[in-house]
Amino acid sequence: MFKLTLVTPQKRLLSEVEVEEIIVPADRGELNILPGHAPLMTTLRAGIFRARLKGETEFKSAAISWGYCEVSPTGVSVLADTAEWPDEISKERATQQYQLAQSRLQDAGLTPDEYVMAQNKSLKELARLSVVK
């Protein structure tokens, strides 16, 4: 077991909670972190954060957007731009925002930076929809 902290600039979702396993959406794919994991620091992309709390068999999931994950000998810290539990997400609003991001991606006049922003928004909303289901 190890300690986990999950925070955003607006709120603290988990603080020094004992967990048995976490899965984070790292920049280059999902990263499964178990006790004894080697120290590392990685960037996160929009996706689904999952944590299996001490003594639990099911994972607790949250939709997160861009951020950082640091694994150290004392535990894991996840710093996300946004993070939401399923009960904090409006399925209707997430659906609207996802459709808006998808239509934005079809705009031929987007600059490369605008395209990346629309892609990130699409990934974020898709994660929100996945967590709510």
CB 62 within 8 A of CB 49: yes
pLDDT for position 54:
93
pLDDT by 10s per residue, the chain, length 133: 899 999 999 999 999 999 999 999 998 899 999 999 999 999 999 999 999 999 999 999 999 998 999 999 989 999 999 999 999 999 999 999 999 999 988 888 888 999 888 888 999 999 999 999 7
CB atoms within 10 A of CB 7: 16
For residue 59, the 8-state DSSP code is P
Characterize 39-64 residue by residue with b for buried, 16 or more Cβ atoms within 10 angstroms of its Cβ, and e for exposed.
eeeeebbbbbbbbbbeeeeebbbbbb
CA proximity to 61, closest of 21, 34, 28: 21
